[in-house]
Amino acid sequence: MACPEFEDLILDYCEGTASPADSALLESHIAACGGCRAYLAQQQELDLRLSKSLTRPSLSPAFDARLAARIAAERRAPRLRWLPRILDGIGYLSLASAAGYLIQQLPHAGAWVGLAALAGSAAFGFWETGKALRATYGHRW
């Protein structure tokens, strides 16, 4: 069991980020502390295993060709990325018109039911549009 106040210093030491003064302090401590010596050995072994196990992966040689093909396909595709948003807008305008008509019909009981249904539809629509916008353009915010 390592001394809690030395645990992070041992990890810094293994990562090569401990200052010379801290390194000297640790080295004099581990000379007298079996627990910290064992912990240092355990962390050094773990560090070695991680270095051997987590080697840099390589992209497949076809990566650039695949990307070029996707970009070429994108260039050929018609620019309709905003079409779904435009359709959403038309849908919301329709909802607003229907809501305006139903408000004129108040206090007829059916109008309240209709307004409640419209509010539910609008809330669901906003939720779904928000999700789609976050998924598509989230990286800009």
Contact criterion met (CB below 8 Å) for 37 and 30 = yes
Q: Does 139 sit near other proteins (CB under 8 A)? A: yes
Q: Which amino acid is at 21?
A: A
CB of 36 to other proteins, least distance (A): 13
Long-range own/partner contacts, residues 8-13 (CB < 8 A, 24 or more apart): 10/36, 10/39, 10/40, 10/43, 11/43, 13/40
Q: Which amino acid is at 126?
A: F
| Rounded Cα distance, 102 and 115, in Å | 7
Q: Does 128 sit near other proteins (CB under 8 A)? A: no
Contact with other proteins (CB under 8 A) among 24, 41, 67, 103: 67
Contact with other proteins (CB under 8 A) among 31, 32, 59, 77: 59
* Residues in contact with other proteins, shown as a per-residue x/- string from 75 to 114 under the rule CB under 8 A: ----------------------------------------
# binding residues, other proteins (CB under 8 A): 29
